[in-house]
Amino acid sequence: MKKIGVFTSGGDAPGMNACIRAVVRTGKYYGLEVVGIRRGFQGLVDGDYMEMGPGAVSGIIQQGGTILRSARCKAFFTPEGRQKAYEQMKAKELDALVAIGGDGTFTGARIFMNEYPDVAIVGCPGTIDNDLFGTDFTIGYDTAINTAMNAIDNIKDTANAHDRLFFIEVMGRDAGFIALPTALACGAEAVLVPETKTSIDELVKILENGMGKKKNSSIVIVAEGDELGGAYKVAEEVGKRFQGYEIRVSILGHLQRGGRPTCMERVRASQMGHAAVRALLDGKSGVMIGIIDKEIVHTPFEKAIKHHQDLNPMLLEMIGILS
Ligand code: F6P
């Protein structure tokens, strides 16, 4: 193996830059040429590559976003798009790829590898959602939950000052991995996640109990993927039956995706990028790098995408006990 490419794809996540840096510098250490591919699969299709020596990744470990940019590429999900991507790889003599992204990225990578078996791809889990199987933490998750926690703390101050009930929506299209720990860490009264069915009656009861305990404000964290349809919808339903507080809604949105990665984020992203290059050199392909109980593990893409980590039921229960 002489030349590898690295790209970031799907929703960006803090720590992606630390991972890119680790891939480039580990590649260099083992005598490989490394190219950066801009805008994920889109750059693969367009042949939008840049040579990356160790200097190209100086001063990026602390930056959010991704210096390689990211995209959700439709063209790659057509056979013609993938053929173009393959031809570009061959023309540039790329032997293998490190793909940093989430389930969409690994789904695309799997299809590509099935069609072109001589393409080797190793993945690093990059998504704030933490919704991949085969790793305790995805790149971006730790930073995102801390960003969300700080934002919720701020909202709590104003909720208290005005005797208000806030419904705060956090990201998490399919999973409550951002909602649950932030709810616990911020002392929220309740958390609504896609993994459990939400009952408005129960929620109203919780809020009434809170009033009974002389709480002058309340916070409910809503994962964006909750089956009731987001914080505005939940607020509307609750508002019909509960007039204890004035209600406000806050959608944290993309602010959760940016910002300086935390220390552990940088460490884990570096470990994963380093492990991805080592895995390619060991002849591995079609696997996602993960960290479970502090150990590096390799999980086939199919398993990483299809299986799901479970939310910790004890944490869910604790929200009710501790609030
Ligand atoms: O996959 C990460 C994520 O941030 C999800 O939590 C969210 O639903 C989605 O991306 C938003 O994507 P976009 O930035 O394309 O709107």
Please choose from 16, 72, 128 the residue to mutate so as to test ligand 1's pocket, defined by most ligand atoms within 8 A of CB: 128
Q: What is the CATH number of the domain that holds 198?
A: 3.40.50.460
Q: Which domain holds residue 158?
A: 141-258
User: 124 C-alpha vs ligand 1 centroid, how far in Å?
Assistant: 18
Do 43 and 88 have their domain in common? yes
Q: How many CB atoms lie within 10 A of CB 292?
A: 12
Q: Could you tell me how far CA 130 lies from the centroid of its own chain?
A: 5
Q: Active-site residue among 12, 103, 129, 142?
A: 129
Could you tell me if the CB of 14 is within 6 A of ligand 1? no
**Domain count of the fold of the chain:** 2
Ligand 1 pocket, 128 CB below 6 A?
Answer: yes
3-class DSSP state for residue 212?
A: helix
Looking up tokens 């393409």 gives 119
Q: What is the pLDDT of residues 126-169, one digit of tens each?
A: 999 999 999 999 999 999 999 999 999 999 999 999 999 999 99
Q: Is-contact 302 113, C-beta < 8 A?
A: no
33-80 per-position pLDDT tens digit: 999 999 999 999 999 999 999 999 999 999 999 999 999 999 999 999
One domain, residues 269 and 132? yes
**Does residue 137 sit in helix, strand or coil?**
coil
Positive or negative: CA dihedral 296, 302, 303, 307? positive
CA distances from 73 to 11, 40, 46, 299 (A): 11, 8, 11, 24
In a domain, 43, yes or no: yes
Asked whether residue 270 falls in the same domain as residue 126, the answer is: yes
Query: How big, in percent rounded to 5, are the helix, strand and coil portions of the chain?
Result: 45, 20, 35
**Ligand 1 centroid from CA 159, angstroms:** 27
Structural domain includes residue 64: yes
Residues 135 and 167 in one domain: no
pLDDT at 308: 83
**Would residue 320 count as lying in a domain?**
no
* Backbone phi, psi, residue 88, to 5°: -60, -40
Residue nearest to atom 10 of ligand 1 (CA): 11
* Residue 152 shares a structural domain with residue 234: yes
For β-strands 246-251 and 96-101, DSSP reports them as unpaired
198-226 pLDDT, tens per residue?
899 999 999 999 999 999 999 999 999 99
Check whether residue 161 and residue 271 sit in a common domain.
Answer: no
pLDDT of residue 147: 98
C-alpha 11 to ligand 1 mean position (Å): 6
Report yes or no: 63 and 259 within 8 Å, Cβ to Cβ.
no
